[in-house]
Amino acid sequence: MRPHTRPEGPARSRHRREDPLPLRPISPPRPTDSPSSDSLSTGSLATAARSSDSLGVVRSRHRLEKAPSGHRPLIWLAGSAAAASLCFGLFVPLSSQASPGVATAASAPLAASRPVPASVVAAVPVVAGSPVIYSAVSAGDGGSAGPVTGGTVVSVTGSGLAGVSGVSFGGNAGTVLSATDTTVTISTPASTDYGTGSVAVSLVDSTGAIVPVASTPADAANAAAAAATAAAASKASSVASLSQAITPLVDAAAPLAAATPTPAPSGAASALASTGAAADTAPAVAVAAGVSPLTFQYVPDPRITAQIGYVRAHWNSYNSAVYGAIGGNDCVNFTSQSLIARGWTMDAEWSYSAAGAGYSSAWSSSTAFAAYLSAHPERATPLTAGESSRVKVGDIVQFDWDRSGDKDHTGIVTRVVKDASGTHLYYAGHTEDSLDKSVEESLANTGGTVSYWSVA
């Protein structure tokens, strides 16, 4: 190899391209250099690092290597980074190569770039809070009781309850009136066979899963806090691991090393272990231990108690001092009296006045009373003979003895008995004074038909 000489100008080399890394000028190789040496010695690099070039033009030796088969030629430029075991290849299109004798202007050094990840931290999915109840069933008076006829508005409180879609009281479906994240408002159903006593209450979400119950509000809060801590620790662990993997090298001369994931903090591990969940599936709310079931106490309906109490007191002892008596046709008068005891109030169509108009038609006639109830569904709804299983104590029974379509007799249901053979109803009435008389027996004796009114 001929001794390397410094060119007089940048246009004197056909194959010369500017090195992308700023190198300091070096001295020409000594005549004793080996002809086969194509690389710079460590001493030369050290000399270059100490030299300065006031022109800012990089001058270095280059070699032209043959490109692999099937590829366009490329020029490999060896720069000072070779000392750090890093080489940068510059692909040069043939069309951009300088023509013989054409000067090539010096360009600014090219800065090495490192790929920037599209997203530094992967998105952590938000886990919806699991529903949990931490209160007893509470009625408006603060208790957990209501009449056997149902309709009591109660509520439960907790967290994550917006998805509650159903409720059961002793196997009977209640009505979810509203559901927010913290409160579910419910209307109770009638108890089975209008019986009294305590029944189990369960709420279900949209998937049909039973909503768990925490023993106290504090337990629910502690469970939620523990789950939140676990979720936060899991997120911190994921961020730490990913950040470690993409941290830029401080020294470009240092070799690239495989990133080692940072283990999760000990606090995160213990929090996750307590829930038995993986980092990416940590529940937002854990179920507290010591779960207590929800219950509701069915008690007699005070309205019905008052109604039936009046019936039993006056079925054969007329209260004529207050309501008078209709000779031979007092059945509707007596039934109307019992409804006043239940809590109904008179109106223009259904009324009695001892001084003045006396009895309205709806107050004293079975057929007119049926027409009145049909016009006022807010007070009662009709039930057919085939719907006797829905009849409850305090409802109204009417008979059509001759099957003419008119109502010939009216009474008050006083007992409901259900057994393997079906539903058996009993009633009380005036004119033919009776108490707890069998509906079946009356139909058998007369051959008539029966219908009912379910009183609200």
The answer to whether residues 291 and 309 belong to one domain is no
| 336, part of any domain | yes
420 inside domain: yes
What's the farthest any 2 CA atoms get from each other in the chain?
148
Q: pLDDT digits over 236-288, tens only?
A: 665 554 444 444 444 444 444 444 444 433 333 333 333 333 333 333 333 44
Q: What angle do CA 277, 282, 286 make, to 5 degrees?
A: 90
Provide the CB-side half-sphere exposure for 359 (13 A, CA): 21
If one counts the domains in the chain, the total is 3
In tens, the pLDDT along 317-357 reads 999 999 999 999 999 999 999 999 999 999 999 999 988 78
Instruction: Express each pLDDT in 398-434 by its tens digit.
Output: 999 999 999 999 999 999 988 899 999 999 999 989 9
Residue numbers of the domain that contains 322: 302-455
| 281, 256: one domain | yes
CA distance linking residue 368 with residue 407, whole number of Å: 9
Q: Where are the alpha helices (DSSP H) in 155-293?
A: 217-246, 266-275
281 part of a folded domain = yes
418 within some domain:
yes
User: What kind and span of H or E run contains 158?
Assistant: strand 153-159
Residue 123: inside a domain, yes or no?
Answer: no
**Dist CA 55 CA 269 (whole Å):** 61
State which of 277, 300, 323 marks the end of a domain.
Answer: 300
Q: For 240-257, what is the HEC assignment?
A: HHHHHHHCCCCCCCCCCC
Question: Residue 268 is part of a domain; what is its CATH number?
Answer: 2.60.40.10
Q: What DSSP assignment string belongs to 284-330? A: SSPPPSS---EEEEEE--HHHHHHHHHHHHHSSS--HHHH---TT--
The pTM assigned to this predicted structure is 0.51
Which of these three, 300, 329, 351, is where a domain ends? 300
